[in-house]
Structure 1
Amino acid sequence: MDGENDYLIDAVITFDELKKWFEDEGIDLNEFQDENIKNDETLIERYYPIVGGILKTIHKENSYKFLNIDGLESCIETLDAIVKGNINGYFIEMNSCKGGCINGPCNNNSSFIEAYDDF
């Protein structure tokens, strides 16, 4: 609960909770996937939860420098540098969790490596 932002969020759900919800409702997402997509290893959206994952999904055909930051302290340091005008011309991907969302508060694994392997 966050007193400042309670009115902004109606619900939060983890991927594990979503998976369980689909199972409870008898929904098998594999039934809805095109066979060509299901076997396609180039589904880059899968990289979103890891550090640098968003940067892997965008076309880098412009003049920006690309940088990924993880960990709350590094994010704060980077934002402070932006405010001070010390960083310009960057496309920055920030993850407050060290290691990215895959290592976030709902990581049920004992290590980042286990979370990555489950990914």
Structure 2
Amino acid sequence: MTLLICRTCPRYDSRATGDFGRALAEAIADHPAGSLVAVRNVQCLGGCPDHGVAAVDGPGKARVRFSGLDAGDAAAVLAAAAAHDSCASGAPGDWEVPAELADRISSVTPKRGPNGF
């Protein structure tokens, strides 16, 4: 399983660009369950202009993107990553999205077949 964290959020605030990614990655690293998740800090997850973006993703699974997050959401994000990992499809209807994140799903991208179709 992979947890993707935007390292440019908030993109449109040049003084704070990158603050979100650093803060969330640090909060996850400090959490007892943080070592169970592979974290990738990525350039952008396309959640602009709603900053505070992270996504759970995995091979053959839907990518679920959350917006409006901050470092205080680390435990919920880790719970979402674990639930997503244990689900075959990754689709939010097939796993329990933590209540505090349920209204912050900003997109779901289903995975395509092995040939990209």
TM-score of the aligned structures, taking structure 1 as reference length: 0.21
Higher strand share: 2
Higher helix share: 1
Q: Larger radius of gyration, structure 1 or 2?
A: 1
TM-score of the aligned structures, taking structure 2 as reference length: 0.22
